[in-house]
Amino acid sequence: MRKPLVAGNWKMNGSRDANRELLSALQSELDGLAGVELAVCPPAVYLPEVVEALADSPIEVGGQDCSDQASGAYTGEVAAAMLKDVGCRYVIVGHSERRDRQAEDSAWVAAKYQAALAAGVTPILCVGEQKEEREAGRTEAVVGEQLDAVLDAAGVESLDRAVIAYEPVWAIGTGLTATPEQAAEVHAFIRNRVAGRDPRVAADLRILYGGSMKADNAAGLLAHDDIDGGLVGGASLDAANFAGIARAA
Ligand code: G2H
């Protein structure tokens, strides 16, 4: 039985004041909610404060990225061990905004994924196709390549300590959400691909959906067996909206 996970990706949003307000609203909205795991991923500079603010809460904290290197002369980067050190349970790797803007390729993402595991932080591995790739019928080829890069580098058993997020790039922050059927089809593809290597790992693997998920479309997506939660961007900045998704999970 897979426990759903709803994780908020705050992206490059927030301030100390806004974060305090959001966390306090979230804690009241989510008080007593059982059966779902929750996490927030604030910008790196706010991580220690957010961990501290959530010390008495079941809400976990994650980073939005980590270096593929353990330590050293890598200006501006944050090591997975540092995320662990300040109390992070999760780290997002391979988000499409980084694959795109920072030109992170699948090999680099796989190295970040391995660095996270080595530090004892659970990677949330993002995969997903661009609009043109979907239109060209290449969704499975693209997602399969992104997935295989990680499985080849780290082994299928590594997924016992990881989470996958399917995020169709054309649905991110655009207001366009994949239909539950479109999402479920790719989630099933991912699970089958993993099952090809190890059916037990595939059965236990949590696969989240990400891409304009909101309280009012979450139930339809989460009704599918293969959709085990959400990686939520915009809607995670609004406590009531995020809580609505968490309740639907
Ligand atoms: C996809 C998602 C969170 P949004 O990037 O990772 O963002 O919900 O704003 O589309």
pLDDT by residue (tens digit) across 146-167? 999 999 999 999 999 999 999 9
83: phi then psi, degrees, rounded to nearest 5: -60, -45
**Is beta strand 37-41 parallel, antiparallel or unpaired with respect to 5-9?**
parallel
Which atom of ligand 1 lies nearest, measured to the CA of 167? Answer: 1
**For the stretch 150-186, what's the b/e string if a residue is b when 16 or more beta carbons lie within 10 angstroms of its beta carbon?**
bbeebebebbeebbbbbbbbbbbeeeebbebeebbeb
Q: Which residues does a 6 A CB cutoff place in the pocket of ligand 1?
A: 9, 167, 172-173, 210-213, 231-235
Rounded to two decimals, the ipTM of the complex is: 0.96
Tell me the per-residue pLDDT of 199-223, one tens digit each, with 9 for 90 and over.
Answer: 999 999 999 999 999 999 999 999 9
pLDDT greater than 90 at residue 72: yes
Query: How far is the first Cα of the chain from the last one, in angstroms, to the nearest whole number?
Result: 14
**Residues 223, 229, 230: CA angle, nearest 5 degrees:** 115
Judge if pTM exceeds 0.95.
yes
**What single string gives the DSSP state of each residue in 139-182?**
HHHHHHHHHHHHHHHH-GGGGGG-EEEE--GGGSSSS----HHH
Angle between helices 180-195 and 139-154 (to 10 degrees): 40
Report the SS3 class of residue 54: coil
Tell me the per-residue pLDDT of 19-62, one tens digit each, with 9 for 90 and over.
Answer: 999 999 999 999 999 999 999 999 999 999 999 999 999 999 99
Q: Whose CA is nearest to atom 2 of ligand 1?
A: 233
**Alpha carbon of 58 to ligand 1 centroid (Å):** 22
CB-based contact 54:86 (threshold 8 Å): no
**Alpha carbon of 231 to ligand 1 centroid (Å):** 7
**Candidate of 169, 232, 241 to mutate for ligand 1, largest count of ligand atoms within 8 Å of Cβ:** 232
Which residues is 93 bridged to in the sheet?
125
pLDDT interval class at 2 (50, 70, 90) = very high
Residue 7: closest CA among 39, 48, 31, 36: 39
Which positions are annotated as active-site residues? 95, 167
